[in-house]
């Protein structure tokens, strides 16, 4: 395929799509407003290579993650690493599902785990209903940055904000330049997107582990609970609380960004206290093992609804393609959809009329 394609956004989605399309013979340009790649959500998250355990309430997300994990570890074997002791814990209280139901959902979804017997449950956990030991990895963002910069050398345009895109005849225009197709991979930050979604500014906290060796990764499920997860940096963990991590819900990206700009030191101190109090409900001696390091701010673009849908969607409108990110390992789902669409389009199997009426 010899199409000239603009990809807007050099996060995990834009970079992975860029590599795929380049390998298919397309002339690819990746536009990135920042001075480096993977600088927004893709470089500021919990760095979990999901396997599906987070999504007991959403089958599509679970299955995309399960399959994405397998493809990710095969395609990018050096960009994530295993965690020796990675535990998903269903507490007796506060979980939206009980342990038996949780285990059954994961088992019937074909996601591999090891169930710990009560005498194997870590002593520092309080009020446990059940524990699964899982194979989820941690993402290695620094290596990923290096990998994509090498493989996409000359194709990424840093410090290049896209102001608008439009279709003119059989071309798509980006910053005045003509392309055959444009892919919006900005997670909804370029323009209003055609999804029922909202923007959620987030606060995660980094902590330094005070002990020797590694502390286990602990994820309390399912619902508004907490997790402690390692990062690629030795001894540094993220602490997340589904209850306290969100800093509001906004209709536009602009409002969500403003919320982060307005966030004060005093609010941060309150949040730290709330998040620590939350995790201590499950890991009472958390503060004896960890010391606060720094905050991490970002914005999640989420679909509206109670369904906990974090799967990936791709929409098309003639020469414009928009990718709505799921989790990082669901890049393969996006790539498959984009590839399928471009092939059908260039073989004349879809017409503009058909596409627009979708």
For the bound state, the minimum distance from the C-beta of residue 110 to ligand FAD, rounded and expressed in Å, comes to: 19
**Would you say 267 or 288 has its CB closer to ligand FAD?**
267
Is-contact 312 325, C-beta < 8 A? yes
**Would you say 95 or 240 has its CB closer to ligand FAD?**
240
For the bound state, the minimum distance from the C-beta of residue 211 to ligand FAD, rounded and expressed in Å, comes to: 23
Q: Which of 5, 2, 39 is nearest to 338 (CA)?
A: 5
For the bound state, the minimum distance from the C-beta of residue 353 to ligand FAD, rounded and expressed in Å, comes to: 29
For the bound state, the minimum distance from the C-beta of residue 17 to ligand FAD, rounded and expressed in Å, comes to: 9
**Would you say 167 or 346 has its CB closer to ligand FAD?**
167
Q: How many CB atoms lie within 10 A of CB 16?
A: 23
| Alpha carbon separation from 135 to 11, 48, 99, 132, 138 (Å, rounded) | 25, 11, 19, 10, 10
Element (H, E) at 89: strand 86-91
For the bound state, the minimum distance from the C-beta of residue 186 to ligand FAD, rounded and expressed in Å, comes to: 4
**Would you say 121 or 206 has its CB closer to ligand FAD?**
206
For the bound state, the minimum distance from the C-beta of residue 223 to ligand FAD, rounded and expressed in Å, comes to: 16
**Would you say 334 or 342 has its CB closer to ligand FAD?**
334
Q: Which of 118, 139, 121, 132 is nearest to 42 (CA)?
A: 139
Sheet holding 197-209, edge to edge: 114-116, 128-133, 86-91, 217-220, 226-230, 236-241, 197-209, 290-303
**Would you say 95 or 296 has its CB closer to ligand FAD?**
296
**Would you say 128 or 247 has its CB closer to ligand FAD?**
247
Strands 320-324 and 181-184: parallel
The first and second tokens of residue 76, run together, are: 């990018």
For the bound state, the minimum distance from the C-beta of residue 153 to ligand FAD, rounded and expressed in Å, comes to: 18
**Would you say 20 or 190 has its CB closer to ligand FAD?**
190
For the bound state, the minimum distance from the C-beta of residue 349 to ligand FAD, rounded and expressed in Å, comes to: 27
The residues of the shown chain that bind ligand FAD, judged by CB under 6 A, are 8-14, 31-34, 39-42, 45-48, 50, 161-162, 185-187, 189-190, 202, 204, 298, 300, 325, 327-329
The C-alpha atoms of residue 274 and residue 237 are separated, in whole angstroms, by: 18
The DSSP code for 59 is H
Q: Which of 300, 304, 242, 313 is nearest to 60 (CA)?
A: 313
The DSSP code for 57 is T
Element (H, E) at 148: helix 141-151
Backbone dihedral region of 136: left (phi > 0), alpha (psi from -120 to 50 degrees) or beta? beta
**Would you say 95 or 202 has its CB closer to ligand FAD?**
202
**Would you say 46 or 316 has its CB closer to ligand FAD?**
46
For the bound state, the minimum distance from the C-beta of residue 351 to ligand FAD, rounded and expressed in Å, comes to: 29
Q: Which position's Cβ is nearest ligand FAD?
A: 11
| Alpha carbon separation from 241 to 28, 41, 46, 222, 224 (Å, rounded) | 39, 17, 11, 12, 7
For the bound state, the minimum distance from the C-beta of residue 100 to ligand FAD, rounded and expressed in Å, comes to: 26
Is-contact 15 25, C-beta < 8 A? no
């Amino acid at each position: 395929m010899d199409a000239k394609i603009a990809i807007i956004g050099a996060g995990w989605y834009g970079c992975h799509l860029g590599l795929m399309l380049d390998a298919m013979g397309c002339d690819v340009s990746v536009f990135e407003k920042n001075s480096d790649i993977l600088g927004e959500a893709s470089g500021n998250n919990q760095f979990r290579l999901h396997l599906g355990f987070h999504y007991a309430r959403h089958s599509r997300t679970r299955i995309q993650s399960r399959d994405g994990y397998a493809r990710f570890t095969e395609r990018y074997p050096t960009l994530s690493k295993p965690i020796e002791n990675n535990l998903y814990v269903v507490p007796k209280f506060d979980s939206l599902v009980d342990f038996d139901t949780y285990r059954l959902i994961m088992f019937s979804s074909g996601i591999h785990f090891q169930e710990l017997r009560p005498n194997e449950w870590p002593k520092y956990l309080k009020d446990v209903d059940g524990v699964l030991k899982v194979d989820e990895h941690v993402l290695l963002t620094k290596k990923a940055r290096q990998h994509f910069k090498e493989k996409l050398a000359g194709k990424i345009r840093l410090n290049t904000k896209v102001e608008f895109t439009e279709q003119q005849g059989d071309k798509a225009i980006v910053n005045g330049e003509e392309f055959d197709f444009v892919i919006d991979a900005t997670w909804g930050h370029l323009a209003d997107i055609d999804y029922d979604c909202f923007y959620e500014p987030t606060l995660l906290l980094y902590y330094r582990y005070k002990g020797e060796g590694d502390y286990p990764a602990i994820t309390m499920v399912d619902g508004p609970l907490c997790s402690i997860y390692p990062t690629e940096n030795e001894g540094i963990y993220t602490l997340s609380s589904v209850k306290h991590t969100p800093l509001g819900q906004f209709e536009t990206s602009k409002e969500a960004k403003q919320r982060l700009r307005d966030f004060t030191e005093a609010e941060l101190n309150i949040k730290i206290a709330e998040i620590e109090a939350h995790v201590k409900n499950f890991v009472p001696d958390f503060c004896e093992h960890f010391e606060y390091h720094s905050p991490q701010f970002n914005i999640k673009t989420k679909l509206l609804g109670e369904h906990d849908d974090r799967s990936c969607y791709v929409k098309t409108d003639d020469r414009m393609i928009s990718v709505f990110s799921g989790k990082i390992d669901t890049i393969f789902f996006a790539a498959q959809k984009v590839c399928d669409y471009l092939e059908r389009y260039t073989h004349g199997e879809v017409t503009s009329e058909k596409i627009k009426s979708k």
